[in-house]
Structure 1
Amino acid sequence: MIGKNSKRRVPTHSQCDLQYSFRAKRNQEGDDRKETYTGVSVAAMAVDDRFADLNPKRCVVLGGRGFLGRSLVLRLLQLGNWIVRVADSDQSLQLHNSESILAQALSSARASYFHIDLRDKHRVVQVLEGSSVVFYMDVTGFDVNNFYTCYNLIVQGAKNVISACRECRVKRLIYNSSADVVFDGLHDILDGGESLTYPWKSDNMLSELKAQAEALILNANDIDGVLTCSLRPSNVFGPGDTEFVPYFLKLARYGFTKFMIGTGDNLSDFTYSENVTHAHICAEEALSFQTVSVAGKAFFITNLEPMKFWEFLSLFLEGLGYQRPFIKLPANLVRYILSVFKWLYEKLGPRYFSYPLLVQFLHLASHTRTFNGMAAQKDIGYSPIVSLEEGVTLTIESFSHLARDSSFSQCCGSTEQSKADKLLGSGKVAEILLWRDEKRSFTYFLVLVWLFYWFFLSGRTFISSVARLMLIATLLLYGRGFLPSKLFGFPIQRMPASHFEISDTAVKDSVATAVYIWNRGFQNIRGLAQGDDWSTFFKISVFLYLLKLILSKLLTTLIGIGLVFAFMAFFVYEQYESEIDGLVDVLCTSLKEFVVYLMRISPVSISKLLHDHDKF
């Protein structure tokens, strides 16, 4: 449970003397972000000539505009003894209102921005020239579904960075890896340590490529004086997250997070983003003073507070107005569904099936993944500076714009007309089928059930049923005429003659409709008599044959199903409108792509025939 170790822990390791204690308070008005610091004032963190005596270190943050890269750049500038080069794939630097410290650093040359393509070794050398430390974060701006692009940017990019570090005499290289590199998606990991080996095979392409990049960087340790290490954060979340939190919030909008995979008892380790950036700073200090125990090694970075995955997810969902998971799905069923999505992804491509993100989420949601953080605490002096409870609270505040009430209004508490109400015409029928007045709707339902029994389930013919019904109606109407004005204290109202009259307009409309239907039918019959319209012939033949089947065998069943459907389907749709719309959208998109796939593999003659038919 969150709160067990809820107090913030500040490391006392001598290598991290420049660590900071802070508490961020965010005001979500647009993109603005306000922060109040204790211990070191913002003014002291800003550009100041007093830092000239500190002999600042020069570093490059590769991927400095990504989720973790932004946080790391901000922390380095706050420490005050760094000159930071921010490098990423964006052509130009666009600052947010919350990045005032970076803006001040850019204006005083304590920070600079470089556009970089990791596939271009010459450009990497230019960016790294003159720096002593390289923080290798995730570079933004590439398609995660394109294997060729991912391989060149992650694996070949790592080779280029290593080569550039050796050429530029960089002293320390810290790589931001992931705990996913030791997870195969099949087996649980309980209190895993750094001795875990890379899996032989993984369904997560990005994790497999990052494992290759990490191995290259660790094997390059102490070659030409470059000291390397790797950090493996687990399930990183925080303000500005672009993957983990937004992905399951997207699932929540479609109602998919109501389902829980397995028993829900699987544990996971999570890491708040500012703890990850803090670990990078500690690792850089440790590489300078305790080289033997740190260089060439990888360290798991977590909040040291493992908890149930679905409980963690529920905290976010409830904090943003969504319902916590309550429907448990068997793990084997989910694996089967995953195999279907994998087949669709392989056949139809990544246009509509974001399989890598889906498989990563399902694996995390159905397996235990906890890691032992003792090595990071002992060797690099890392301890979380933001507790899991506080990190969850700050992240929920930062994603308030994705809360349920802000994204769409709920049916129960909203005055906006629902789609179900619009489909039913917003009249008396809508009020009955949507159960606006439960007693009234239930009365109509019972009457219709009785009529269904009377005409279809009683065993009588239709004419006999009509005759008996008219006889009962006659007796009731005639008997009502003998009733007194009051019976047992209840007033008996007389039925006016207008109840039995039909207006001239209604009669004219009915006659006009009957004449129109007759004329259309006559035109069809005349076309059949001429023997020229084969299309009409087949349409009428099929229609009459289906009508024969329905009237002879299926009519009773269809009417019974339709009666129950009418009083249930629209009501259910109004309550779960967004979830049903999301599911229908996914199914329709999948069906369209499947038809395109069938057309692609079908013989040329069939495809040509369908294409020619579309022209006509």
Structure 2
Amino acid sequence: MVKQNGSNYDDHQLKSCLVIGGRGFIGRSLVERLLKLGNWIVRVADSTPSPQLLPSESLLSQAFSSGRASYFHVDALNKTQIIEAIEGVPVVFFTDSSGSLPCDFCFCYKTIVQGAKNIVNACQEYKVKRLIYNSSADVVIDSTRDILNGDESLPYPDQFQNMVSDLKAQVEALILSSNDIDGLLTCALRPCNVFGPGDEKLIPLLVNVANSGWAKFIIGSGANQSDFTYVDNVAHALICAEESLDSQMVSVSGKAFFVTNLEPMKFWEFVSLVLDGLGYQRPIVNVPAWVVQYILLLMKLIRMKLNSGKIEDSVSVHYVANLATRTRTFSCSSSRKHIGYSPVVSLEEGVALTVESFSHFARDLPFSNKCNEQSKANKLLGGGKVADILLWRDEKKTFTCFLLLVLLYYWFLLTGRTFISSAANLLLLIISVLSGYHMLPTNIYGFSIPRVSSSCFEISEVDMRESFLTMASLWNSPSHVTRLLAQGRDWSTFLKVSAFLYFFKLIASHSLIKAIGLGLVLAFTLFFVYEQYDEEIDGIVKIVSSRARKATSLMVRKLPMPLTFILPECSKPLKEKGSSQHTLLDSRQ
């Protein structure tokens, strides 16, 4: 008899089970769900010496006190500890955790695969009736192809995307091949992209990327679809699989089943939902996938050279990179039909619960404020169309503008013709293209050819006014500087202008054409880089400016006395030292 909260439970009415990996991400959710059902006595096994309960785990704490739950410290390589935990239970849930293992294949193989062999052997030896293994959809995924609505007929790939997936596939094959041996029935579940409270992989990685400022980038087109599975749904599916095995269903034993939330969506939409909820900027800038692949390849080579790090580090980055560029969706028709699975928590609710559990990672300011706040680079460029182009807001538009400017650069500067000749040839080319386009028929083999409207060649009064205002503004700025220099009152401006003209003379004397080409390239890169590292760059500029001001101040103090009177603005450093013009005049008198 087992007592809980003053009630007596008959041993025949309660089912006993062991949850291996019960303190892991999925194991915690499974243990809590089993206890909530009320008809389970749960043994929790994990590699940590003690359970180390969280404040939110009051249900498990009560279960430990009442005897409905017990804890076993189990090392998968220690057969004695495994036997002690397994002996006497008819059901074993195997939810292994391999996220913090060192990047050593021999050690990982012994821990994951050999440990699984020990568990299977113990289950067979001590007459365990049902073994349910929590595998992963990653066991059928490689990094070279998309999977759209994949089912259980998918084979294991020839080359896995990482070492952990390879080892988990070996464990899954081992457990499924052990079905119906010595009375042990087995099955495996393959959840896809599990997330939820307590997640130590996907959500923390997204937060780290957001904090680094790189979360604003979308790898590839961003159109790839992915399936996600809330952790409580995985726990529910594991229990459904156990009930189906208990019913002696031939269609379940020895089989693997995909488990998802049945709500495939674009990977970057999922990322945006999570980052929005935590107050971070959602991804908005597309980056070509091949660029990221080369960077990851370089990181992999460096890691191989160093031969250090953890699986968690090497797997997570490639895991998210593959998600970001590949379609990974799976059919759950088999799990719905044979084990009676259906999600108990919707994807929207699961994301909301996950965001709430990670509220300690949230930004202080709401995202809406950050979304409206312009970056320094955007303000510097005026926040208009030019800013959108130079900051790569629209990859296609920016690349088109860059290509057009490169062609103009080549046409006017690299062809060796004079400017007037190049302009005349360009106008002739434009007129020829427009004339030829106008002579085309309105329909060619079913494709309609739109006509160019005459309004395309018209300039509105508003545009002309803005153009002249811009030209006036550009003229007024150097005019104001020239007036200051003519008055001889701003020594600092004189030094800046002199330095600028000197460097311009050096550049122009060597190769003005190369300088313009370099400026064209830098215009499309420097502002983009500045937006990503504005704080670091501002810090460097601040240090350089401070030292430049000190040098200028020192230079002014060493000027001849009459020149200092002519330039009163430059005598401010002397005033700060306690000297004034009146004092100097008195001393001279």
Please give the residue correspondences for 1:79-478 in structure 2 after superposition, counting only pairs within 5 Å: 79-139=37-97, 142-143=100-101, 145-351=103-309, 354-405=313-364, 450=478
Q: CA deviation at 1:168?
A: 1.3
Secondary structure class of the residue paired with 2:329? strand
Residues in 2 aligned to 1:187 and 1:64: alpha-carbon distance in whole angstroms: 34
Distance 1:140 1:92, change over 3 A: farther
**Cα offset, 1:110, TM superposition:** 1.3
Conserved? CA contact 1:236–1:272, under 8 Å: yes
**Structure-2 separation of matches of 1:578 and 1:52:** 66
Q: Which digits, 9 at most, give the CA deviation of each residue in 1:217-267, with x for residues without a partner?
A: 000111111111000000111111111111112111112221112221111
Compute the displacement of 1:551 (Å): 11
CA distance change for structure 1 residues 324 and 570 in 2, over 3 Å: closer, same or farther? closer
Cα shift at 1:412: 9.9
Match of 1:511?
A: none
Distance 2:298 2:220 in 1: 19
User: Cα deviation per residue 1:577-611 (whole Å; 9 max; x = unaligned)?
Assistant: 47989xxxxxxxxxxxxxxxxxxxxxxxxxxxxxx
Does structure 1 residue 77 correspond to structure 2 residue 30? no
Q: 1:274, CA displacement in angstroms?
A: 0.3
Distance 1:298 1:47, change over 3 A: farther
**2:16 partner amino acid:** R
For residues 501 and 80 of structure 1, the distance between their equivalents in structure 2, rounded to whole angstroms, comes to: 84
Secondary structure of the 1:50 match is: strand
Shift of 1:406: 6.9
Of all paired residues, the percent bearing the same amino acid is 56
Distance in 1 between the 2:287 and 2:59 partners?
48
State whether structure 2 residue 24 is matched by structure 1 residue 66.
yes
Closer, same or farther: CA 99–261 of 1 in aligned 2, 3 Å: same
CA 1:151 to 1:396, structure 2 compared with 1: closer, same or farther past 3 Å? same
Q: Deviations over 1:66-110 (max 9, x none)?
A: 111001111111111111111111111211111111111111221
Give the Å deviation of 1:446. Answer: 6.3
Residues in 2 aligned to 1:69 and 1:320: alpha-carbon distance in whole angstroms: 25
The structure showing larger relative contact order (alpha-carbon pairs under 8 Å, at least 6 residues apart) is: 1
8 A contact 1:134–1:173 mirrored in 2? yes
The amino acid across from 2:295 in the alignment is: I
Amino acid at match of 2:329: T
Letter in 1 for 2:50: S
- Give the Cα separation in 1 of the matches to 2:287 and 2:527: 26
The amino acid that maps onto 2:355 is I
Amino acid at match of 2:217: F
Q: CA deviation at 1:351?
A: 3.6
Aligned length: 437
Write the distance in 2 (CA, Å) between the matches of 1:149 and 1:283. Answer: 31
8 Å CA contact retained: 2:225, 2:327: yes
Deviation of the 1:283 alpha carbon: 0.6
The runs of at least 4 consecutive aligned structure 1 residues that moved more than 6 Å come to: 406-414, 432-435, 445-449, 499-502, 548-552, 554-562, 568-572, 578-581
* Amino acid in structure 1 at the alignment position of 2:257: F
CA positional deviation for 1:287: 0.3
Report the Cα distance in structure 1 between the residues aligned to 2:157 and 2:114, rounded to whole angstroms.
21
Aligned residue for 2:9, secondary structure, equals helix
Read off the aligned partner of 1:250 and give its amino acid letter: N
Distance in 2, Cα, partners of 1:97 & 1:301: 30
Residues 578 and 204 (structure 1), Cα distance of their counterparts in 2 relative to 1, 3 Å cut? farther
Structure-2 change in CA distance of 1:579 and 1:263 (3 Å):
farther
Q: In the aligned structure 1, how far is the partner of 2:530 from the partner of 2:368?
A: 15
Structure 1 window deviating more from structure 2 (349-358 vs 108-117): it is 349-358
Q: What amino acid is aligned across from residue 332 of structure 2 in structure 1?
A: G
In structure 2, how many angstroms separate the alpha carbons of the residues matched to 1:501 and 1:383? 77
C-alpha contact (below 8 Å) 1:89/1:141 kept by paired residues: no
* Letter of the 1:273 counterpart: V
SS in 1 for 2:364: helix
Q: Is the 8 A contact 2:139 2:166 kept in 1?
A: yes
TM-score, normalisation: structure 2: 0.65
Report if the CA contact (8 A) 2:226-2:329 is conserved.
yes
CA contact (8 A) 2:101 2:310 kept: no
List gaps (5 residues or longer) in structure 2.
383-469, 493-504, 539-589
Spell out, residue by residue over 1:291-312, the C-alpha distance to the aligned partner (whole angstroms, 9 max, x if none). Answer: 3111100000011111111111
Q: CA RMSD in A?
A: 4.2
SS in 1 for 2:128: coil
Post-superposition offset of 1:573: 4.8
Deviations 1:375-400 (A, max 9, x none): 11111111111111111111111112
Instruction: Measure the CA separation in 2 of the matches of 1:574 and 1:378.
Output: 52
Whether contact under 8 Å (1:433, 1:570) holds in the other structure is no
